[in-house]
């Protein structure tokens, strides 16, 4: 699935398609997994993956990165307001209660978002930016969306394309 993601994102970057990358990580999944057992944890991950796939638009891409991380490539998001609305809608979808192992689970997630723009160096770079934003969302308490921006780039020591030229 990761290979398909890299291929799809690379094609979008090379064709100049406006795309946003959302890296999604379940909050406190390890605690739930340890409490419920790994088989129930795996069922929860499958449920979340299915919810994401059925909640995105037909031309978007949703998949699992690994562990409890998922990714959505949202195509043609015209502005930050629409992008945030889409990301918060996904938080709602993920947060719907789930019956697993005889328990009714309520869970949250943190989402990091990075936009693909002109001069985006590679698929791995933009996934990395979204990952940095996701960890910032977790550091701020979780269950929220953070967009990778210049302030976050500077706080992490990452350099922009303009600085590298």
How do 109-116 and 19-26 pair as beta strands?
Answer: antiparallel
Find the catalytic residue in 25, 60, 68, 131. 68
CA 99 vs CA 30, 31, 64, 128: distances in Å: 17, 17, 20, 32
| Tokens describing residue 126 | 């933009």
Q: Does the annotation mark 150 as catalytic?
A: no
Strand order in the sheet with 69-75: 61-66, 69-75, 19-26, 109-116, 145-147
Nearest to 19 by CA among 149, 123, 102: 123
Which of the residues are catalytic?
68
């Amino acid at each position: 699935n990761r290979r398909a993601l890299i291929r799809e994102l690379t094609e979008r970057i090379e064709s100049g398609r406006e795309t946003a990358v959302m890296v999604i990580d379940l909050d406190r999944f390890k605690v739930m997994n340890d409490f419920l057992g790994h088989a129930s944890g795996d069922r929860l991950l499958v449920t979340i993956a299915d919810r994401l796939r059925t909640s995105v638009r037909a031309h978007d891409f949703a998949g699992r990165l690994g562990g409890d991380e998922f990714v959505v490539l949202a195509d043609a998001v015209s502005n930050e307001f629409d992008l945030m609305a889409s990301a918060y809608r996904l938080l709602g979808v993920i947060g719907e209660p789930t019956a697993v192992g005889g328990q009714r689970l309520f869970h949250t997630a943190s989402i990091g978002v990075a936009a693909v723009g002109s001069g985006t160096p590679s698929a791995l770079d933009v996934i990395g930016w979204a990952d940095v934003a996701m960890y910032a969302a977790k550091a701020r308490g979780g269950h929220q969306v953070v967009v990778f921006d210049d302030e976050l780039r500077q706080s992490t020591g990452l350099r922009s394309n303009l600085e590298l030229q």
